[in-house]
Structure 1
């Protein structure tokens, strides 16, 4: 897990230095705060446009699909946060496998929930038919 974070940090730092170099070449002497403002602002807008388009299409099937995607995304952030917190405080081990295990736990428990929900749905449908 620590090595994955180090690689990601290296990539982010390289992109950061590259963008600063480009802005200096074009005479746009941006501060670190300016870069965060523009890069995260544009990245956020691009992500919003893509997810808005996809979620509008997906919601035609069932809004629960959108809820599931949102929940998985939030759990991913929480899982990474927990592992980083463990590394910072030294309480527990920071391991990528912990994140995977936590997400598999959600998928397994959600699968059971979906199965129970589908059983009740089809049982009610069958009951109303007769």
Structure 2
């Protein structure tokens, strides 16, 4: 973990030197941070915005977005704890510790997703049964003829027979 941070710091220092050479020595450290972090931030925002627009069209968009946000916060928290351990010498600063902490979150989230999936499946099946039962009750009621004081109309076949027999009687 310590080596990873040192490598990242070396990369940042190299980028700092290259940008200073490109734009001249007139750029202060604060102005360099302003431009670099501003550009990185807006590019990251556009990428996240695109991903969120895609996710929001999915069925469980709130759950997906909650997981992504929580995972991001957990990543920052895990690395902050590892850096704190290195600063205070209250533990070993190792990348494996950070990775294991994130795996813990992923496993607990998988258990949560499984339990909620079972509950959701049961809920949707009960809802479908209630809807099917209600639909059959409505269709039975629709098949019943309304009660009225007028005499029911005779079928066409019966009427034609009656007419034929009436013609013969005259």
TM-score greater than 0.5 by the shorter chain: yes
Tell me what 1:80 maps to.
79
**Secondary structure of residue in 2 paired with 1:47:** helix
Alignment of 1:28-67 (within 5 A): 29-61=26-58, 62-67=61-66
Is residue 9 from structure 1 mapped to residue 33 from structure 2 by the alignment? Answer: no
Deviation of the 1:127 alpha carbon: 1.7
Is residue 115 from structure 1 mapped to residue 114 from structure 2 by the alignment? Answer: yes
- Please identify runs of 4+ aligned residues in structure 1 that moved more than 3 A: none
What is the TM-score when the length of structure 1 is the normalising length?
A: 0.93
Tell me what 1:97 maps to.
96
Tell me what 1:128 maps to.
127
Cα distance in 2 for partners of 1:36, 1:4 equals 21
- Backbone CA RMSD of aligned residues: 1.1
Give unpaired runs (5+ residues) of structure 1.
none
When structure 1 is superposed on structure 2, of 71-80 and 56-65 the one drifting more is 56-65
**Secondary structure of residue in 2 paired with 1:123:** helix
Give unpaired runs (5+ residues) of structure 2.
130-170
How many pairs does the alignment contain? 127
Q: Whose radius of gyration is greater, 1 or 2?
A: 2
What is the TM-score when the length of structure 2 is the normalising length?
A: 0.72
